[in-house]
Structure 1
Amino acid sequence: MRVLLSQEHDDQVGRQLLADLDDVQVVLYNPAATRLSAQQRSAHVLIPPYRGSHRPRGLLEQLPDLRAVQLLTAGTDEWQPHVPADVLLVNARGAVAGPVSEWVLAAVLTLYRQWSALIRYQDAGVWAHRRVDADTLAGKRVLIVGAGPIGTAVARKLTAFDATATLVARTARAGVHAAAELPGLLAHHDVVVLAVPLTTETAGLVDAAFLAAMPDGAVLVNAARGRIVHTDALAAELRRGRLRAALDVTDPEPLPAGHPLWSCPGVIISPHMARTVPGTSRLCYTVAADQLRQLLAGHVPPNAVGRDATPPR
């Protein structure tokens, strides 16, 4: 099996991990290239690069023997419309549950403990004793929309802070509520964490009605995709001071200079880097190598995604 692997620095760990697979020939390629060599065109698997994974989409039409596209991300929305129906689309679901769940907890604690305000006081050289209204995560109720690896990792970590988690997924199962129950759950939770893929079902899920159902002072955390949240509706709630938010993703993205969201009160924004810590690329390639082992054995990889871009949950 010939596997096209990015030649970029962040993908070097992939060469090391794929070298351990029997019957795999790694063929390097430039993700920014517009034409492939004859050897590259004979590849059976394309692995988009760790950074800027959308760049090689235009190469798909040059790969007549392609059997699978193995992503290094959990999200598939950038690739799903472009991958031919007879080619498997496989994601790296589960790879970054650790760093992303850590970001979620850090973001919530930053808002509750008022670190943004404290740092501004520090920059001004002000000893801000009792000048901020810090709060505790203990006793808070956290609604996690998405019960995959990231959502369940967040739920586990919340127990260390004496907070309680409620999980919601597309369909109900033991310990997990169905998405249809979501409207009735919103009013009873202090924090809502988004950890779902972007699909036709979730695009625009967090609209004005969703936000209005959240209680005063509640926190929205988006670690999923920007298009899940209606930006104007969120900005309106933030300007009123009724809700707060922590966003790793936005719509539009990148968020342009001068966009109203930058100046809204009660929001912290990180530039789509919740997963970005040392060793993340190894985590992603480890999952990719596991999926390729299944493909080599003649099985459909567990992380293969349906044509509606909805990963198994």
Structure 2
Amino acid sequence: MLSLGSEGVATHLPPHAVLANAAGAMEHQTAELACTLLLAASRGIPAFAQQATWANSRSPGLWGKRVVVLGHGGIGREVVRRLAPFEAEIVCIARTGRTLHDGTVIHPVSVLAEIVQGADALICTVPLSSETAGLVDAGILAALADGAIVVNVGRGPVVHTEALVAELTSGRLSAALDVTDPEPLPDGHALWDLPNALVTPHVGGNTDAMRLLLHRLVAEQIVRVGGGDDPENIILNHSSIGPGRGVPTKNALKETSR
């Protein structure tokens, strides 16, 4: 599968199918866009681009701001790495809490409401699942600081759209979204017209590098499966056919860390 997200795919697979995603081919580019969106929103680029007069105004910027990154899988880790030079306070949240070898604390999602209190930005990088659908709801949004920015490069339904639109309409928050709910975002939707909403059409991984990275990944997978090995990046494995018949069996069910 040439994407990271897999929602809805499993129901269309035949019995014993093995599903692998494109981990390794999308994370860098998506993290690049997440940081671009955050920087653009924090420096007021959309407003500057829309005005037709030379009007200088002050913008928040990132230095010293508190940025919460929701998800510490491939995209989340790359977002954190790219944000480090901007000297913001970066707080990471994942499904399970842990402390990394370098001392970085990853907070569990169970304390999300506490962690986002007063945060200046929230970047969502998690995939869509029963656990993450609607995770960023009205309560989480209300906990963010006045003027905070919500960035979503994971999946649209992770953020409750109506609650987000309400906060944007009031002018209290801003948003920079590469994914939306619904998606594609229909003509006339409120998110298109709100001046504090920056929307891109789900282009996170879509750079010049994507084709090369996907071709490389597919070639590597063909070699592995052709040799009787498991493919990389298995996220669903219901196979019961033994080795030596071109069907992977070595890897247990694997889920992208988030």
Are the aligned partners of 2:70 and 2:94 in contact in 1 as well (CA < 8 Å)? yes
TM-score by structure 2 length?
Answer: 0.86
1:172-199: CA deviation from partner (whole Å, max 9, x where unpaired): 2223221112121011421111111111
Match of residue 173 from structure 1: 98
TM-aligned CA deviation for residue 84 of structure 1? 3.0
Residue 298 of structure 1 is aligned with which of 210, 215, 228? Answer: 228
Structure with greater contact order relative to length (CA < 8 Å, sep ≥ 6): 2
Match of residue 204 from structure 2: 274
Are the aligned partners of 1:192 and 1:220 in contact in 2 as well (CA < 8 Å)? yes
CA distance in 1: counterparts of 2:92 and 2:6, whole angstroms: 22
CA distance in 1: counterparts of 2:125 and 2:254, whole angstroms: 13
CA distance in 2: counterparts of 1:310 and 1:241, whole angstroms: 41
What value does the CA root-mean-square deviation take over the aligned residues?
2.0
Residue 120 of structure 2 is aligned with which of 190, 195, 220? Answer: 190
TM-aligned CA deviation for residue 83 of structure 1? 1.5
Alignment map for 1:57-136 (pairs within 5 Å): 71-121=1-51, 124=52, 126-129=53-56, 132-136=57-61
CA distance in 2: counterparts of 1:199 and 1:85, whole angstroms: 22
Secondary structure, aligned partner of 2:92: strand
Structure having the higher Rg: 1
Paired positions, count: 238
Alignment map for 1:12-31 (pairs within 5 Å): none
Are the aligned partners of 2:31 and 2:79 in contact in 1 as well (CA < 8 Å)? yes
CA distance in 2: counterparts of 1:214 and 1:81, whole angstroms: 37
Percent identity, aligned pairs only, is 39
Secondary structure, aligned partner of 1:134: coil
Secondary structure, aligned partner of 1:251: coil
Residues 307 and 221 from structure 1, CA distance in 2 versus in 1: closer, same or farther, beyond 3 angstroms?
Answer: farther
CA distance in 2: counterparts of 1:153 and 1:118, whole angstroms: 28
CA distance in 1: counterparts of 2:229 and 2:128, whole angstroms: 26
TM-aligned CA deviation for residue 85 of structure 1? 4.4
Match of residue 64 from structure 2: 139
Residue 212 of structure 1 is aligned with which of 123, 139, 142? Answer: 142
CA distance in 1: counterparts of 2:170 and 2:227, whole angstroms: 56
Counterpart AA for 2:256: P
TM-aligned CA deviation for residue 302 of structure 1? 3.6
TM-aligned CA deviation for residue 297 of structure 1? 4.0
Residues 234 and 136 from structure 1, CA distance in 2 versus in 1: closer, same or farther, beyond 3 angstroms?
Answer: same
Query: Which residues of structure 2 form unaligned runs of 5+?
Result: 100-104, 239-252
